[in-house]
Amino acid sequence: MPEAYWRWTESRWTNPDLRWMDGGIVTAGVDVGSVSSQAVILVDNEIFAYANTRTGSDSPNSAINVMNWALEDTDGLTLEKIQYSVGTGYGRVNVPFAQRAITEIACHALGANFMYGPTIRTVLDMGGQDCKAIHCDEKGKVTNFLMNDKCAAGTGRGMEVFADLLGVSINEVGELSLQVDEEPPPVSSTCVVFAKSEASGLLREGWPREKVLAAYSSAMAHRVVSLLERIGMEEDFGITGGIAKNKGVVQRLESRLGVQALEPRYDTQIAGALGAALFAKSLIEKGKK
């Protein structure tokens, strides 16, 4: 059985310092993406629990599966006790228990505002199958956005293809790509499919895996920067999504932009679900249904 190099690590977490039964407003946000799904449970203004899983082929059930995982180990919290749930992401129509669906662009901005603080003005979300550049104000409200979901360059899928080709676990591709003495020229193909062929050629020429990864990460950073340049860079700058965990791409991005991204203190993949849970809270407070 061949190893699944694309298999990144799923995770869940419960806040040890919170008791949901002592809190006032309990809300949830569920982000169903084409590659990953997250559920975040908020108690008043703090993250109480979250779960991050692969969506896999079971997209219609992904929402309930990730929600159930988030609810594990929560001292008796159940779905019925959550006052308001918001679904977001590509599969937001498949969140049957949500009262409302909200677009992931708005959710990412609000989630990033919570995760990185009110100074954040530019959010770059590099997700499983899309890439978003968002400008927001101090409240996390979107002022400008641009999304590219037609092209795999700059997405997790693109990186999965390379992890698989090179036989490197996706959790390690970032670190490995930095183990080069000299930065090689970036892969020239715009398309991930052709980039893969190009990489096979480089391997045949004797390039070590680190060098091929460096070339691909460099190309990815270049594509993403051109997307960002279309709406402009305004600091502070923060990255969300799975690729924020890839140091190789992040460092190359920062050096091309001449800007440091804010240091994440939370799992960067939960930004969408977190924003959805925050919207749920403000919808309750406004008395809307």
Partner 1 sequence: MIANYGYKDGSGEFFITIDTDQCDGCGACAEACPADCFEVGEDPIDPLRDEPVAFVSEAVRKKIKYACGACKPVTDRPPLPCVQACPRGVISHSW
Q: Is 231 in the site for partner 1 (CB under 8 A)?
A: yes
Q: Would you say 64 or 147 has its CB closer to partner 1? A: 147
Please report how close the Cβ of residue 155 comes to partner 1 at its closest, in angstroms.
12
Q: Would you say 139 or 204 has its CB closer to partner 1? A: 139
What does residue 265 show for φ and ψ, rounded to 5 degrees?
A: -110, -5
Tokens matching residue 223:
């594509």
Q: Is 230 in the site for partner 1 (CB under 8 A)?
A: yes
Per CB under 8 A, which region of 8-16, 25-33, 136-144, 175-183 contacts partner 1? Answer: 136-144
Question: Binding residue for partner 1 (CB under 8 A) from 9, 45, 119, 143?
Answer: 143
Question: Binding residue for partner 1 (CB under 8 A) from 145, 162, 216, 237?
Answer: 145
What is the footprint of partner 1 within residues 84-123 (CB under 8 A)? 100, 102-103, 105-106
Q: Would you say 168 or 277 has its CB closer to partner 1? A: 277
Q: Would you say 59 or 144 has its CB closer to partner 1? A: 144
Question: Binding residue for partner 1 (CB under 8 A) from 144, 169, 171, 251?
Answer: 144
* Distance separating alpha carbons of residues 47 and 15, to the nearest angstrom: 7
Number of residues engaging partner 1 in binding (CB under 8 A)? 25
Residue (of 46, 105, 65, 78) closest to 266 by Cα position: 46
Please report how close the Cβ of residue 60 comes to partner 1 at its closest, in angstroms.
20
Q: Would you say 72 or 149 has its CB closer to partner 1? A: 149
Tokens matching residue 147:
């999304």
Please report how close the Cβ of residue 274 comes to partner 1 at its closest, in angstroms.
15
Q: Is 188 in the site for partner 1 (CB under 8 A)?
A: no
Contacts with partner 1, 263-282, as mask; x by CB under 8 A: ----------------x---
What is the footprint of partner 1 within residues 46-75 (CB under 8 A)? none
* Distance separating alpha carbons of residues 26 and 127, to the nearest angstrom: 27
User: Which residues sit at the interface with partner 1, rule CB under 8 A?
Assistant: 100, 102-103, 105-106, 135, 141-151, 190-191, 223, 226-227, 230-231, 279
